Amino acid sequence: MHHQVAKTGSEHWAVVGHAAGRQVLHDWKVFTSTRGALLREDDNAAPYPGAGKMPVLTDPPRHTDLRRALAQMFTPRAVEKLSALAHEVARALLTDLRARGGGDFAADVAAKFPLAVQAEMLGIPVEDIPMLLDATRRSVDESDHDSFGHHDVMTYFLQALGTRRGEAGRNLIDALLEARAGGLPLTDEEIVLTCDNVVVAASQTVQHAVNGGLLALLEHPAAWEALREGRLGVDSAVDELLRWTAPATHVMRTAVRDTELAGTTIRAGDAVAVWVPAANRDPAVFARPEELVLDRSPNPHLSLGGGMHFCLGAALVRVLMRALLRELIGADTSLALANKPVRHSTWAVNGIRSLPVEVVPA
């Protein structure tokens, strides 16, 4: 536990251990999500836009209700149905990249892949994907919930909501409208905020994990070769790449009462940030934490959160990553770094903006 004070005066407790991090994520009665999920430069205790109105910023019972409304989209059956499409999209993007001898994997493959697979499920027409890709990218760059990137996503879904009432379907807006028709109190604002929450998470988590995962494999050629030869399994590799990349750098909670955490007294109102990369490398939990161990088991990483807020789309994240990884290792050519990667300039995500690659013989 470390007490951090930013130049702006903003304060928070930094949680770097796995056990304490897991406690914060699980104990929602003490550590609330309703006062913000990301650190802010100004004042972590100030009112937070969207608080109490979207899944990431709610506690039970409201959080439970919103999750239940979305659950039909993320059942094992619904997720598995997307597996074939994920392979198809990954193959098409990688074929195009190889035909050009290489390119920017981040922009040409990773950014396009998640929304292209999930577009129908999210209720996004194919022609609208480029605009939403740009908006979700900007939402991460600016790293705040009242950024213009989030604003553009919410505006898009507000307009979509106006044209979708009463229409039958099985996508994001329809699922929320169906829940409202079934008696769940849900305003248009809450529907739009929830759409923003889901779409930004759906777009960003996978692409940052995929970018970071490919970079890790290219920097560990022996692991890459073992995967290609089938000596290591794709399923365990996906979880180790999630542990290694930790797409979200941190998760913030706010103490609602005085409590003790890792031997430290936390006061009511204090911001507490769980630093995921540190928790994922806690030597008390992970043997050889600084090594990429693709067959690591067990692997209780916190990259997809924990407790009530464990990533609703966790199964989908794994399906998408497995598909892209299998398409990468199953090809008759391989990829190599063509230039130095460029990372996003934000404390909110471990994101790669540019990942230049070239095609090489397998």
Query: Is pLDDT of 165 > 70?
Result: no
Give the span between the Cα atoms of 275 and 265, in whole angstroms: 19
CA atoms within 13 A on the CB side of 115: 25
Give the span between the Cα atoms of 271 and 95, in whole angstroms: 46
Here the tokens at position 259 are 């409590």
Domain that holds residue 42: 2-361
Is-contact 266 260, C-beta < 8 A?
Answer: yes
The number of distinct structural domains making up the chain is: 1
Q: What's the mean pLDDT in 145-168?
A: 70
Here the tokens at position 88 are 């198809």
Strands 264-266 and 271-275: unpaired
Q: Which residues pair with 252 in a beta bridge?
A: 273
Reading phi first (left if > 0) and then psi (alpha if -120 to 50, else beta), residue 230 is in left
Q: What is the pLDDT of residues 86-108, one digit of tens each?
A: 999 999 999 999 999 999 999 99
So what's the pLDDT on residue 261? 95
* pTM greater than 0.85 (yes/no): yes
Give the span between the Cα atoms of 342 and 352, in whole angstroms: 6
Give the span between the Cα atoms of 209 and 352, in whole angstroms: 9
What percent of the chain lies above the pLDDT cut of 90? 62
Q: What is the pLDDT of residues 6-44, one digit of tens each?
A: 655 578 899 999 999 999 999 999 999 999 898 887 777
Domain of residue 217, CATH code: 1.10.630.10
Query: Is pLDDT of 144 > 50?
Result: no
Where does the chain show beta strands of DSSP type E?
A: 2-5, 11-15, 31-32, 102-104, 250-255, 259-261, 264-266, 271-275, 333-337, 342-343, 352-354, 356-361
Here the tokens at position 18 are 């796995």
Query: Is pLDDT of 145 > 60?
Result: no
